[in-house]
Amino acid sequence: MNFSKLFLAFASMLAALLSTHSFAGDLPDDVMKSTTPTSSAEAPVTKTESPAPAKKTATLKRVKGESAPAAAQTAEMKALKTLDTRYQKARSVTMDVDKTLVLGLLGKEKKSKGHILLSRGKMRLEINAPDKSLVVVNGNNLWVADYPPAEFKNASVQVLKGQIDSKKGTQQGFVGLLTRGGVLKHFDVAGVQRDDQARSVYFLIPTQKTFEFRRAQMTLSADGRYIAELRYWDERDNETRMQFSNVKFDVPVVDTAFEFVPPENADITTL
């Protein structure tokens, strides 16, 4: 074989080799793993989990009473307005009350039970246990009587007399505001949210500086038919909590229920 034919044969073999060689064997192993495609049969299956649903939390809706007409269209504000009107128009409202006074500085609680009668701006609040007391609001007149324990039957009855529109008078007759103009007359609604019983809780700020309490909360019953609880805090951060039950509307009442004549042995103090 002459030299030229041998050279041509070698060149032909080299060209064939170059056309089929991928040069992959010359690459490092880690590069090979990142660049070599994986067939669908060999591709690893990655299990993905659906994100956990968001936890439902109570939504605080900021409302500013009558000054926020758009927000006032919410279901919560409609419910409040409807109930506020019901208390205003009722001939009377009666209810049992569990009252708790929490002293802010000491953290001590004082509990009592009684009955409330409301009628178009008038109020009679009788506490029967553990100690007896009476609050009567008739027009603008306020009477508060604290009776001595049974073992001190000869002790004097302590009586406060004042005007319901004074600071101390308003605090004593807080519940009576429900039928003297209603909640929306005396308070701005700073916010509303649902509690763990799906009841609407309204956060209230007094509109008048004559009130001795700084803030209040009002909770409606789950069906929205009556006020289930009132809470308010005075300037010393003492909390008064009233929980209502057996609420009845338009029960017949007599006017003498809102009259009060101090006992002969009463010590009377004017607010």
pLDDT at 62 over 60: no
On whether the CB atoms of residues 217 and 175 are closer than 8 A, the answer is no
Q: Name, of 60-74, 91-105, 156-170, the range with top average pLDDT.
A: 91-105
Name the pairing type of β-strands 267-270 and 158-163.
Answer: parallel
Backbone angles phi, psi at 137, to 5 degrees: -120, 120
Indicate whether this model's pTM tops 0.75.
no
**Band of pLDDT at residue 22, cut at 50, 70 and 90:** very low
Give the Cα-Cα-Cα angle 141, 218, 206 (nearest 5 degrees). 55
Q: Domain spans of the chain? A: 73-270
Residue 150 CA, distance from chain mean position: 40
Residues 6+ apart with CB under 8 A from 106: none
Q: Average pLDDT in the 10-27 region?
A: 45
Model pLDDT, residue 128: 92
Dist. CA 202–CA 225, nearest whole Å: 15
Name the least confident of 6-10, 145-149, 194-198, 213-217: 6-10
CATH of domain 73-270: 2.50.20.10
Provide, rounded to the nearest whole percent, the portion of the chain with pLDDT above 90: 41
Kindly state the greatest CA–CA separation across the chain: 150
Better-predicted residue by pLDDT, 167 or 33? 167
Residues 6+ apart with CB under 8 A from 1: none
Q: Average pLDDT in the 105-132 region?
A: 90
The 10s digit of each residue's pLDDT in 159-169 is: 999 887 766 65
Model pLDDT, residue 173: 58
pLDDT at 25 over 60: no
Model pLDDT, residue 154: 83
Model pLDDT, residue 169: 58
**Band of pLDDT at residue 53, cut at 50, 70 and 90:** very low
Model pLDDT, residue 72: 41
pLDDT at 20 over 80: no
Average pLDDT, the chain: 76
Model pLDDT, residue 109: 92
Q: What is residue 117's DSSP assignment?
A: E
Instruction: Tell me the residue ranges of DSSP E strands in the chain.
Output: 93-102, 109-119, 122-129, 133-138, 141-146, 158-163, 187-194, 200-206, 213-220, 227-234, 239-249, 267-270
Q: Give one word for 118, left, alpha or beta, with left for phi > 0 and alpha for psi -120 to 50.
A: beta
